[in-house]
Amino acid sequence: MEGNATSNTHPHVVVIGGGFGGLAVARELAHTDARVTLIDRRNHHLFQPLLYQVATAGLSAPSIAAPLRQILRGQPNVTVLMDEAIGVDLDQHTVKLARGDITYDALVVATGATHAYFGHDDWERYAPGLKTLEDAFAIRRRVLVAFERAERENDPAQQQAWLNFVIVGGGATGVELAGTVAEIARHTLPREFRRADPRRANVLLIEAGPRLLPAFAPDLSDKARKQLEKLGVEVRLGTSVTDIDAQGVMLGDTPYAARTVLWAAGVAASPLGRLLGAPLDRAGRVLVEPDLSLPGHPDVFVIGDLASVTQSNGQLVPGVAPAAKQMGRYVAQLLKARWRGTTVDKPFRYRDDGTLATIGRMAAVAQFGRLKLSGILAWWVWLIAHIAFLIGFRNRLVVMLDWGWAYWTYQRHARIVTGIDERDRPRE
């Protein structure tokens, strides 16, 4: 067993998950006596807000990801371990890892969320979601290969099915994917195909609810829909997907032939939440105390997308990067106060610094309290904010360069297909 908990005066903080929340805990504990062990299945932190750009061939993966141990190398009290947490023994203060156990004085669980198919797990095969770099490569492969197959297809109906794209879910990810796929079809590819004109592509964005981007004010939802339609996306609100298979989707009782379906509809909390034995909300998030600790376990905290925290206005803290960062800093400050022998009296409070969603070329919506923006101005705010929050000078520079290049040429530099298209794999 590693990380003996009581033999020295340096408290051992184990953080599971190297996303925005986990990283904020580790950074906020710099220059303290604490020993921090950050555990992640992957070797990298991922800047998820730009993941859709990797999926749509605008950015390379290394531009939006950085090795966790490189980010934290200047912090000698942090040890990074690439390993997978498979259980927690709250009585023994021990985390069970795939390659051994580790004990803690304080534990922070920040393993985030994954996509959910509402009981239709068989849809995943036909409609991949977007949470990891592997997901992004799979979506990139599907979208690019679909145009290749259309070019190779002689039957007109089959060809059109390869040129039909359905995106399920009208939240930020669905809107971003739909806008970008439409731009690729209309502007990036046309001159390159000789048989199947990419401009014949249909991009359908399906949302079961009454409006897009429910996190925004209704008038911004409406503006987002209009901007998407201008980019060539067909938006269908109040429409439910009742089935998905290799040939397309069922919209209510109406089949729609589309060989490429992308899933941006459902999010479920990481399965590690269930293993903590605490009450969960409907989406599987852990119902934490106002100080983000696990009920009955003041040394265990759950933060980020995995935590279910209700604000004073009755709404849940949203599953966004700024909220995860704020939770991480809050927990680290609470621990520091506790080690000093004092306490943090205030419960966690989410400070909403604004919400942004991009739609496509010079199209975005933004909401800062009462200030609402849309169109070009919102797009510039979105662009500058995302460059600013990227990690690493090299990445900021290259992303700016790639965006500038893409803007002027309509080209997307990462149009590289690797790996196997799932649609070619025979079903077992």
For residues 47 and 59, what is the distance between their CA atoms, to the nearest angstrom? Answer: 12
Instruction: Tell me the C-alpha distance between 187 and 396, whole Å.
Output: 25
- Nearer to a copy of itself by Cβ, of 31 and 340: the residue is 31
> How many CB atoms are located within 10 Å of the residue 219 CB?
12
Element counts in the chain: helices (H) and strands (E): 10, 25
**Which is closer to a copy of itself, CB of 72 or CB of 241?**
72
From CA 350, how far away is CA 221, in angstroms rounded? 23
d(CA 311, CA 315): 5
Q: Indicate whether 131 belongs to the interface with a copy of itself (CB under 8 A).
A: no
* Residue count of the chain: 428
Structure tokens that stand for 423 in this block: 């649609």
Beta bridge partners of 12: 35
Q: Is 377 in the site for a copy of itself (CB under 8 A)?
A: no
The helix/strand/coil state of 102 is strand
Q: Does 53 bind a copy of itself (CB under 8 A)?
A: no
What type of residue is 416? I
Candidates 61-69, 112-120, 174-182, 219-227 — which segment interacts with a copy of itself by CB under 8 A?
61-69
| Out of 193, 380, 389, 410, the residue judged to bind a copy of itself by CB under 8 A | 193
Q: What is the smallest separation between the CB atom of 409 and a copy of itself, expressed in angstroms?
A: 9
Q: Per rule CB under 8 A, is residue 144 in the interface with a copy of itself? A: yes
Q: Are 366 and 372 in contact (CB under 8 A)?
A: yes
**For residue 319, which phi and psi values (nearest 5 degrees)?**
-85, 70
Dist CA 98 CA 217 (whole Å): 44
Considering 28, 151, 153, 176, which one is annotated as catalytic?
176
- What track of x and - describes contact with a copy of itself for positions 77 through 116 (by CB under 8 A)? --xxxxx---------------xx----------------
Binding to a copy of itself (CB under 8 A) within 379-398 occurs at 392, 394-395, 397-398
CB 104 within 8 A of CB 39: no
Please select the residue that binds a copy of itself; options are 62, 255, 318, 375, rule is CB under 8 A.
Answer: 62
Return the amino acid letter for 181.
V
Which range, of 66-74, 116-124, 274-282, 317-325, touches a copy of itself by CB under 8 A? 66-74
Is residue 197 close enough to count as binding a copy of itself by CB under 8 A?
Answer: no
Active site residues: 176
* Interacting residue ranges for a copy of itself, rule: CB under 8 A: 2, 42-44, 60-63, 65, 67, 69-70, 72-74, 76, 79-83, 99-100, 132-134, 137, 144-145, 148, 151-152, 154, 191-195, 392, 394-395, 397-398, 401-402, 405, 411, 413-419
